[in-house]
Amino acid sequence: MSDIPPLEAEIRRLIEAAGPITVAQYMSLCLTHPKHGYYVTRDPLGATGDFTTAPEISQMFGELIGLWMASVWKQMGSPENVRVVELGPGRCTMMVDALRAAQVVPGFRAATVIHLVEISPVLQMQQFEALSGISVPVHWHTSIEQVPAGPLIVLANEFFDALPVHQAVKYKDGWHERTVDIASNGNLVFNVAAEPIAHFEGTLPKQLRAAPLGALYEWRTDFTGMEIGRRISHSNGAALVIDYGHAQSDAGDTFQAVGRHAFADPLAAPGLADLTAHVDFQALGVAVSSMGARVHGPVTQAEFLERLGIMTRAAALMAGANRSDVATIELALSRLTGHGRTAMGDLFKAIAFADPKIGPLPGFNA
Ligand code: SAH
């Protein structure tokens, strides 16, 4: 086994010793294993990395998020201290653009303390550098539970899709959890647990209870969602989550590997490719609202950005730009708000959560 990469060797030993692991355990090991996890060992973003994200496509994205959070801060009653918490900030591009744009709201920057929740030491270093010229205090954490109590605004772009997902397949005798096992030819393969999950069907959203045999359902244990809900409903706050996924819980296998901007087999290279699954916004809404927070949306990313004024911002940037920059801005606009499979406008959704005392939020009402 000497030519097998170290994480794959460890996963095989684990399965040989203790039996198949769940898809969620596999995903968690691949992404966040403390030594060999995908996010722990590299910066996956940008043209030379494995994938790109909305804030990396254009400054307009972060700027609009900045205006969103500053106006939500005003709706919160302009608290003197606000924790701006970003989950999985990547290169901090969104935060830098957001803070610059939010300066137009008097008092917001002075009230802000930034809390970044980031598991990757490589990305923490990049975040430190990206924010080094900014005169706002910054703290790092590896989970939201570590952020001190108090009024807060939580931001998460392309974070929840990276959280481990469980899968189950429907058989005659019930739903069986999907596992990762070793096939007789020695390759990692998907399998299912021998026993069905007890009383599972009753816990599913209504539309899935009549799912046909063979249907596959994905779910996450939403501790982060519940923690967001608990904090914003107890100490004045709001959260904005943007990600790809479905507005309503649905059946279907969305577990995938993304390497070098293309889709790959999620079992082929553990720890060497990004693994993701779509976000189930209905389930996330249930988790956050179960702790007392109010749900706003979801709306599509296109609707959200258009309501926040992306067209006006693009026109302002284009007015002062040369021809090649105008083309770049037009292209960014169509990637962020365009429809269809190759653009982000429909596939990505925005959902917000807030203290029920806070009224309608920007971007969520036509
Ligand atoms: N929000 C950024 C980066 C998205 S990539 C952007 O839009 O560009 C996902 C980010 O979440 C990375 O920073 C990754 O290191 C971080 N991450 C993934 N799983 C995590 C976890 N369990 N806890 C904390 N951070 C995590």
pLDDT digits (tens, 9 = 90+) for 158-215: 999 999 999 999 999 999 999 999 999 989 999 999 999 999 999 999 999 989 999 9
Count of helices and strands (H, E) across the chain: 13, 16
Give the model's pLDDT for residue 222: 84
DSSP H or E stretch at residue 323: helix 323-337
Q: Can you name the CATH fold of 41-164+221-354?
A: Rossmann fold (3.40.50)
Amino acid at 271: G
Task: Check if 15 has its Cβ closer than 6 Å to any atom of ligand 1.
Answer: no
**Span from the CA of 227 to the centroid of ligand 1 (angstroms):** 17
Q: How far apart are CA 262 and CA 345, in angstroms?
A: 19
The whole-number pLDDT of residue 2 equals 55
Q: How remote is the CA of residue 183 from the centroid of ligand 1, in Å?
A: 32
User: Domain map of the chain by residue range?
Assistant: 41-164+221-354
224 lines ligand 1 (CB under 6 A): no
1-20 residue pLDDT tens:
457 889 999 999 999 999 99
> What confidence score (pLDDT) does residue 121 get?
92
Determine the residue of 85, 155, 159 to mutate for testing ligand 1's pocket, defined as the one with the most ligand atoms within 8 A of the Cβ atom: 159
- pLDDT exceeds 70 at position 267: yes
In whole numbers, what is the pLDDT of the chain averaged over residues?
Answer: 94
Write down the pLDDT at residue 290: 94
The CA 123 to ligand 1 mean position distance, Å, reads 9
pLDDT of residue 264: 82
CA of 86 to the centre of ligand 1 (A): 9
What spacing in Å lies between the alpha carbon of 320 and ligand 1's midpoint? 34
pLDDT score at 49 = 75
Using a 6 Å cutoff on CB, does residue 32 contact ligand 1? yes
Q: Closest ligand 1 atom to the C-alpha of 117?
A: 24
The H or E element containing residue 22 is strand 21-22
Phi/psi of residue 22, each to 5°?
-75, 160
pLDDT tens-digit series, residues 293-329: 999 999 999 999 999 999 999 999 999 899 999 999 9
C-beta 45 within 6 A of ligand 1: yes
